[in-house]
Structure 1
Amino acid sequence: MANTVLKTAGISSQTQPQERIRRLVWKLSVATLLLMAIGSATRVMNAGLACPDWPLCYGQLVPANQMNLQVFLEWFHRLDAGLIGLGAIALAGLSWWHRRDLPNWLPWASTFALFLVLFQGILGGLTVTELLRFDIVTAHLGTALLFFCTLIAIGCSLMPYWGTGNAGRLPWVGLAAAVLIYLQSLAGGLVASQWALHQCLGVAQLCGVMNGHILGVVPATLMTLGVVALAWRTSALNPILRRLAYWAGFCVVAQIGLGVATFKVHLQVEPLTVAHQAVGATLLGLLVALTVLGLRDRGIRHLSQSRVLGN
């Protein structure tokens, strides 16, 4: 009876392995966000090839003799990536080992996350060996964002959640906004990896790439603001969903401001560019979290209706 009440209220009973995995997932999420910020700093500081070999750096685990800011950024980026890789292996291993006590989908989701990390490692090596080829660099960013979204989705699916069943269309609008933000992030990756802003302002080349990213701001922003408006108008909405929507609105406004500032200074202020990347990834994570929790909220409503019809 107690388990039935908990499930009806939207709270899944938490086993010890599930709680341990949930904590690991959130730690990996934070580490991945940090990794993407460091990767952005590595790019804007022209440190992408500071370590000319891979996976070692100057043939060493710690290149103490060659260490400077650029080498440190590239070396620390690889160190963080390696630690995340170990964490992803642990996540998949724990999920399969305790699969009898976990939701059926969790081992497969963890395996998918591990696959993304392995693929990301291959792309990381190719980024160096192919001398920062723009399509590989963009795919590297896209895979990192997809891994980040996967972790957020797993974490939100495992967390205790009290739903009200009033989410309505909110998760679907949130999903559409997340897709648009992801595509906009890839467009930004193309701009950054080809130095399209410098090319366009300097020699009038690659302006189409830059303008495509600028125009992409419009649908992504409107859809995100639609999430905010829908959350504001929905009565008796779970406070978590409302806060996620409002934070997404704050992030999209901040992202536009950072983008304009980055354009005005022609990418000459590195912290602005790094913040632009970090806020974009945070915005994407907020929308994914809102979508997953919103779908759980809708599931509670459908469960309640089924129970009423059954009675």
Structure 2
Amino acid sequence: MTIQKKLITFTLCWTMLVIILGAYTRLTDAGLGCPDWPGCYGFLKVPHKAEKMELAAARFPERPLEHHKAWNEMIHRYLAGTLGLLIGALFIISWRQRKRLTVLPSALLAIVIFQATLGAWTVTMGLLPIVVLAHLLFGFILFSLLALYWLQQRPAWRNSEVRLQALKPLALLALVVVVLQIALGGWTAANYAALACIDLPLCEAGWSNRLAFAEAFDLHLGHDDYEYGVMSQDARATIHVLHRLGAIVTLSIVAWFSWRLYRLAETTLMQRFAQAIALVLLLQFVLGLLNIVLHLPLANAVAHNFVGANLMMLLVVTYYQISRPQGREV
């Protein structure tokens, strides 16, 4: 295995760790554990000495230092910064090998730089929901493109069935539906609406009379701090209900796609892709139900976030496999 292949594999695994820790940081309400960026209360690491803690309190009197939250936030930043260096190394290796810019390494570098910017805005804008959502989505996009880059280095894993191109429209529909559902989930989380409804199948009695679509999708600009949310209960319930309905639509469309892919595929490789999509889809749906029934336990909520990233990744890679059987790299 070449150094490039090893580095791509390591970077892909590192990205998984960053996604998991990012979800953990958000779900433990540590997104503003350090109210400045890139440091923490003006230091490179979380202050512990008495004199530094006094200085931190003087700098940010409105936000007292909580060490466990600050460390959650800073460890996530350290890991994310390391990910940026790894992707930078992949870009340099690719450029030196080909003496020209190639699409995927260039896109990965651009996205990780933008992700760093979004990470800074997340803090400096006080967890503004649209920024938090963008940070989530681009993290998932980065993960998906890294998986695609990993696949390109392994010709034996490439699909050779041209007939599967007939599934391109359905594959694209499944991917779009999953991205929209992830966006709804991210909007739900960013607005602290995950527990806005705790009854099944949709919400508490009378929910349909309290829907507030205009407020639910308003950006609510102008607040200094969005921690714990600024929307009314009705608006949060509206987002939550739409996310639940989206889960049903997603389950139906993606399940249908995986079934069609399995039935049409002639190679074991593509049948395994279909099986992987179906299993991850089912796991994600069950985790979503458990979030409701168990009232958002931390480990389950983190897993729901991570499995969602993997579902999107699988659909991106599968769409590429169907679209470009044994095609050229990008």
Match of 1:55 among 11, 25, 38: 38
How many residue pairs get aligned? The number is 277
In 2, Cα distance between the equivalents of 1:115 and 1:168?
30
Range that drifts further, 202-211 or 291-300: 291-300
Q: CA-atom RMSD, angstroms?
A: 2.4
Shift, 1:272, TM fit: 0.9
- Return closer, same or farther for 1:91/1:164 CA change in 2, 3 Å cut-off: closer
Give the TM-score normalised by the residue count of structure 2.
0.77
In 2, Cα distance between the equivalents of 1:253 and 1:276?
11
- Partner of residue 5, structure 1: none
Shift, 1:71, TM fit: 2.2
Q: Is the 8 A contact 1:167 1:298 kept in 2?
A: no
Specify the SS of the correspondent of 2:235. Answer: coil
Match of 1:40 among 4, 20, 23: 23
Q: Is the 8 A contact 1:171 1:290 kept in 2?
A: no
- Partner of residue 295, structure 2: 266
Identity %: 30
In 2, Cα distance between the equivalents of 1:235 and 1:127?
43
The within-5 A match list for 1:1-311 is: 19-63=2-46, 65=48, 68-100=67-99, 107-161=102-156, 163-165=159-161, 166-199=163-196, 203-234=233-264, 236-237=266-267, 239-267=268-296, 269-297=297-325, 299=327
Shift, 1:44, TM fit: 1.1
In 1, Cα distance between the equivalents of 2:25 and 2:89?
27
Shift, 1:108, TM fit: 2.8
Q: Is the 8 A contact 1:55 1:125 kept in 2?
A: yes
- Consecutive unaligned residues of structure 2, counting only runs of 5 or more, are 49-64, 199-231
Shift, 1:179, TM fit: 2.2
Q: Is the 8 A contact 2:144 2:313 kept in 1?
A: yes
- Return closer, same or farther for 1:163/1:120 CA change in 2, 3 Å cut-off: closer
- Consecutive unaligned residues of structure 1, counting only runs of 5 or more, are 1-15, 301-311
- Return closer, same or farther for 1:159/1:235 CA change in 2, 3 Å cut-off: closer
Q: Deviations over 1:264-306 (max 9, x none)?
A: 2332x11111010011111111222222233343759xxxxxx
In 1, Cα distance between the equivalents of 2:66 and 2:5?
36
Shift, 1:52, TM fit: 1.8
Give the TM-score normalised by the residue count of structure 1.
0.81
Shift, 1:218, TM fit: 2.5
Amino acid across the alignment from 1:24: L
Q: Is the 8 A contact 2:94 2:102 kept in 1?
A: yes
Amino acid across the alignment from 1:183: L
Amino acid across the alignment from 1:241: M
Higher fraction of helix: 1
In 2, Cα distance between the equivalents of 1:151 and 1:171?
21
In 2, Cα distance between the equivalents of 1:58 and 1:211?
38
In 2, Cα distance between the equivalents of 1:199 and 1:113?
36
Q: Deviations over 1:12-60 (max 9, x none)?
A: xxxx8xx433332232222222211111111111111111221012333
